[in-house]
Structure 1
């Protein structure tokens, strides 16, 4: 069985659009020079991107324009051109990929087919494709014998996976197994993974990395406004009159969105308020930047709400007609006085007042956040608080106002949530505990009984395995030994499993623990759909063929189901989407044929005559009574706040950097990116560094209650005096931030771990910067 056909060949229009903010003059000149080499067209001049200073600081000019040089070797009618959706973050950027003989030569946005990003791409979307033809790619299934891997046929490998899963179930029952799905792969592949879990294995023990990032967003928004997703489209992000941004290093995590926001602030005088423990780049453009203590977001958000209500700045008509719970919230925020907020969260009263009044009095406001607001043991309370603020001010349900969680992985909204690879939901957020929903899927899947109990979340899976309750796992496309908290313990748990299968594009450190490893397709080798942060469903098309005998994720799952006696019979992802829209009301009108014609469709899209819904809640909320429900929230604070210990005087927070991506599985294999950020570092405030006797570039040891790592000190005023910052990415040296984080204290509703606040101490090791030999020794690690 094969995937759908690659993209079509063809020439582009000769006209290139004008550059975007941050594009450097010398890069443009060099790109134009390279473009003149092309005899057929000027299609590749200039090479547009929004990589800011990346090209100047990271790549030599020769390396930067490798793609132009490569393209100049071919006539355009010899190059494959495929329009597709980016496989990195969830902004949903679309562009044309130019390829030849299985190699990605270049990327160029086509504004007519790119409704979200227009002519923009970030550095990863523009340059990050060397991983696809890496020598490390898995090309053949692997099975482990006597502790060593050997190549195997697909037949043998899939038989061994099926036998391993069956043996676990026979001995320990249906809940002796758990599955991890992938937010990197398509909606169609994730739909089949949840179908495999429920129809074939009869378990709800399936989850994905959505749990580790935005599950509080889903939980918080579901109970307040109805849908566990952002309410706004790109119009709000580009044209709102005011932004509240918190827990989002937007320029590094979502550069294309950051450019749109900065442009609105610069050109149209939009206000922007940034609340963050670090003085991120967005702070330079902000109307006001406020440094906050990490872990006390409910405090300052409730302080804003209190000021709005106390000064009669709330939208009384909106609150009365479209919400319930206002009086309870009003009473609940009474204690969050300016003095209390300053004491607990570090927000000066005058800054609290200015932000509250500007947000309330603005004609429109968009509330933006990422993991800095969610990755806490009380992350759901943070989101409920943010929803309360948006509702009290009436800034929900218009084209320019609303709630805007920026999602991290390319398909975490669709594949990680909408498609149901989570313990409590069928596709489309239909509850497994709801009798009507369960009966619908039982009829569709031809089974008498689907489990009616919620399964384990991903971190709970590891804890259950540690207790001996889960004895086998099947992991698709997640490098869990770096993404899970307390990663050393996570690796030990994988080793103790009786059976582990991993499906991925590389032999990751997680895959090294497996009994069977199945080689899958990379994003640029895949057909299907992704769903962006703004709920836009878009096509993904295969630009190059996969290496060796690697297969699409959906094909692997289908062939595995056949070994259990289930003949699904899907011939391509389009047919899988047909089943999705038949069973999932919010995707009811979305088909591959429509997407090919229309480009993108935002859900909910109820039927094929429905245009999709870019702006939610314009008339009513997705609740039983059509109204938004507000709930009072209190002070929870970081888990370790109650563990006062002078041995750990600093708070470590984590996050992303522009050039790297998540656990580094793909970006660590891009030479240009790797040459710029291949070392783990820790940001330390100059005053703190002086007190510790730490100098810039020195190797330091960071120790928490869970373990120790080493990193290069970066002395900077970006962080406050009692906070240090460590990137979440793995840089190839063996140390990773999640060695230090805690897996036991989870958000009670969303079950996300406390990633963003970890008590640590920092001490110099006596070493200077890493030697060239040490760096070279780490080059092959991932």
Structure 2
């Protein structure tokens, strides 16, 4: 009897004190840190612990967001079954009901308004498989040209600039492992210490090894604290800054003439343009002294190796593409690319911002970084998809422009996948009006976001703990995110939801997938021979090798650790110097009515529009609300007290946030993070001016006035 009781108690103890370990990757930034969630169940409670796992990119490091990511995945407000709006309220529905409503409404809209009346709004946070499937879904199941994604608001200027200068866009031209060996680094418009904390040891090691670090940012941040030289330029002056640096390098004769002659086009045009650039005007535009400009140009050109890294600070502007190309010019004239410890890095913001823009979510792209307007590319993809090339739609419009078309009545239906455009876009008043006008809106998400509130149907998505698939990190390294935690309630995988809707539309034979790996196998074929070639990558290889850098054209190929060692990706093998700043771009200008610059950005504890991180109690407690960072002298001038609720108004809108004194910001500039909605949603203030090349809004430069009079 005693032995039976002991056996019973041991069995019971195992049941009530069980431990499960789930392998996964952080759902947030582009470092894509590998980690494990340890779930321990006791009699009366369940506890969770997250630990880092060694990998080539982050070597087991985690930041505060990753350590607490599980809190949103298990949050009580997570959607676990389909919801249909009836009489203005969401009510629970079966999948059959929800899919039938979606299918019938989509068909009715296209019958009434045409195929292109439907649109798809994707995400840089979904897996490569889902990004690929979204592009195929839009063009094959819906047969619409209108698809774009939130990465348009994040990485598009850097991607466009790299394509124009180099002929290809992979976030980093080198691996992170090369950073500690470089001699000089320019960090332009990036606050990696808060936005990508687990990348910082590479730069700290470079500094320990004697690298000279130059930061370009209107604010002092944890990142600029690392710099030897901080160029605290005026918001929006990056093109003038890049031109000034290039002019000094060329006039002083500090260029690599052999490299330019053999591998670069456009020097004569650039020199002709720079002859008309006045350094004194550049100094006035940037607010950076000649001594600092000269020091930057001298150190960068004279060291034997160097790297430049850019992020949203210079990219999210109406001349963001030119700003990035202006800095890429510095790499090209000094020969610091395609060599050890020399190259370019675009610090991707979203978890899969790199992979998300490679396989068909963008309006002008097909898988493998092929172009939708290229006849050969269209023919190749149409054969993979089993459709007639003539039936593939053409090029659509950018993310924000889809809402303009929605407001005009051209687009009357939309599927939003794991994104929150009502907070992330510029000119949010127009976006809100558009969502109110649309005939039918479907949102696929974990929570009822600000955007999903306007949906007619909400479908429950899977989280990073449940949704297996590949992600392409900041380096261009393809990784496999294992995700074995059971789906909660009736939630479904993102890819399965798309297949379900396609079946409802009569397109099941084109979407027969039963696993993420099956989708990846088709993606491999679709990318084969393209610039972003994944053909040599398989799930088995990713498990064995912990990630592979594309392009990887064959199964025997080890992946490409350094781009442009022999040639650039343009047809003639040469890179292109850019003439920037020749055409004046439409930018926000200061005036007596709007005397201050507003710039936006992130804080360490939050991610994008905060839909996930604001559901984490540990992260929300660190930053419970938005705020306005302002210099005390500026605050005094405008009669603003510290920690006082303050009105910020632009030509486009008005918000209310609490002031926060800081001597680390320029006196002509205020800063507001963008993770909150409602009256704190800073993108209400941003205009709808767009970069002519990347279609990026000018988030980083808005003219505003401030007041304590609410």
After superposition, what is the alpha-carbon deviation per residue over 1:578-598, rounded to whole angstroms, capped at 9, x for unaligned?
111111021111111110111
Do the aligned partners of residues 138 and 648 (structure 1) sit closer, same or farther apart at CA in structure 2, a change above 3 Å counting? same
Distance 2:544 2:396 in 1: 39
Query: Is structure 2 residue 627 aligned with structure 1 residue 681?
Result: yes
Distance 1:520 1:603 in 2: 28
Q: State the shift of 1:368 in Å.
A: 0.6
- Of 174, 178, 181, the match for 1:232: 174
Q: Is the 8 A contact 1:103 1:133 kept in 2?
A: no
- Of 257, 266, 289, the match for 1:316: 257
Q: State the shift of 1:236 in Å.
A: 2.7
Query: Is structure 2 residue 25 aligned with structure 1 residue 82?
Result: no
Distance 2:27 2:14 in 1: 26
Distance 2:646 2:698 in 1: 23
Q: Secondary structure at the match of 2:478?
A: strand
Query: Is structure 2 residue 683 aligned with structure 1 residue 738?
Result: yes
- Of 227, 242, 254, the match for 2:196: 254
- Of 516, 523, 541, the match for 1:594: 541
Distance 2:564 2:117 in 1: 41
The aligned residue for residue 40 of structure 1 is: none
After superposition, what is the alpha-carbon deviation per residue over 1:598-636, rounded to whole angstroms, capped at 9, x for unaligned?
110010000111111121111111111111111211166
After superposition, what is the alpha-carbon deviation per residue over 1:275-304, rounded to whole angstroms, capped at 9, x for unaligned?
111111222221101110111111011111
What are the ranges of 5 or more consecutive residues in structure 2 without an aligned counterpart?
1-12
For 1:120-159, what aligned pairs fall within 5 Å after superposition? 120-159=61-100
Q: State the shift of 1:733 in Å.
A: 5.9
Distance 1:126 1:609 in 2: 36
Q: Is the 8 A contact 2:189 2:216 kept in 1?
A: yes
Query: Is structure 2 residue 375 aligned with structure 1 residue 428?
Result: no
For 1:635-646, what aligned pairs fall within 5 Å after superposition? 639-641=586-588, 645-646=591-592
The aligned residue for residue 765 of structure 1 is: 709
Distance 1:724 1:688 in 2: 9
Q: State the shift of 1:685 in Å.
A: 1.0
Distance 2:86 2:15 in 1: 49
Q: State the shift of 1:718 in Å.
A: 1.7
Q: State the shift of 1:480 in Å.
A: 0.8
Q: Secondary structure at the match of 2:344?
A: strand
Distance 1:443 1:338 in 2: 54
Query: Is structure 2 residue 660 aligned with structure 1 residue 718?
Result: no
Do the aligned partners of residues 728 and 74 (structure 1) sit closer, same or farther apart at CA in structure 2, a change above 3 Å counting? farther
Distance 1:399 1:84 in 2: 32
Q: Is the 8 A contact 2:24 2:464 kept in 1?
A: no
Q: How many residues align?
A: 687
Q: State the shift of 1:77 in Å.
A: 10
After superposition, what is the alpha-carbon deviation per residue over 1:644-678, rounded to whole angstroms, capped at 9, x for unaligned?
53111001000011111111111111112211211
Do the aligned partners of residues 428 and 551 (structure 1) sit closer, same or farther apart at CA in structure 2, a change above 3 Å counting? same
The aligned residue for residue 538 of structure 1 is: 479
Query: Is structure 2 residue 668 aligned with structure 1 residue 727?
Result: no
- Of 476, 480, 489, the match for 1:548: 489
Do the aligned partners of residues 100 and 170 (structure 1) sit closer, same or farther apart at CA in structure 2, a change above 3 Å counting? farther
For 1:230-629, what aligned pairs fall within 5 Å after superposition? 230=171, 231-265=173-207, 267-415=208-356, 417-448=357-388, 449-451=390-392, 453-566=394-507, 567=509, 568-585=511-528, 586-629=533-576
Distance 1:734 1:140 in 2: 30
Q: Is the 8 A contact 1:639 1:754 kept in 2?
A: no
The aligned residue for residue 91 of structure 1 is: 31
TM-score for both structures, normalised by structure 1: 0.85
Q: Is the 8 A contact 1:687 1:721 kept in 2?
A: yes
Mean alpha-carbon deviation: is it higher for 682-691 or for 563-572? 563-572
Distance 1:319 1:557 in 2: 48
Q: State the shift of 1:514 in Å.
A: 0.7
Distance 1:681 1:638 in 2: 30
TM-score for both structures, normalised by structure 2: 0.94
Q: Is the 8 A contact 2:26 2:32 kept in 1?
A: yes
Distance 1:311 1:94 in 2: 46
Q: Is the 8 A contact 2:22 2:485 kept in 1?
A: no
The aligned residue for residue 6 of structure 2 is: none
Q: Secondary structure at the match of 2:73?
A: helix
The aligned residue for residue 662 of structure 1 is: 608
Distance 1:260 1:103 in 2: 36
Q: State the shift of 1:682 in Å.
A: 0.3
Q: State the shift of 1:336 in Å.
A: 3.3
The aligned residue for residue 102 of structure 2 is: 161
Mean alpha-carbon deviation: is it higher for 86-95 or for 440-449? 440-449
The aligned residue for residue 651 of structure 2 is: 705
Do the aligned partners of residues 686 and 397 (structure 1) sit closer, same or farther apart at CA in structure 2, a change above 3 Å counting? same
- Of 173, 178, 196, the match for 2:137: 196
The aligned residue for residue 69 of structure 1 is: none
For 1:196-215, what aligned pairs fall within 5 Å after superposition? 196-215=137-156
Do the aligned partners of residues 343 and 637 (structure 1) sit closer, same or farther apart at CA in structure 2, a change above 3 Å counting? farther
Q: Is the 8 A contact 1:539 1:595 kept in 2?
A: yes
Q: CA RMSD in A?
A: 1.8
Distance 1:76 1:281 in 2: 45
Q: Is the 8 A contact 1:296 1:638 kept in 2?
A: no
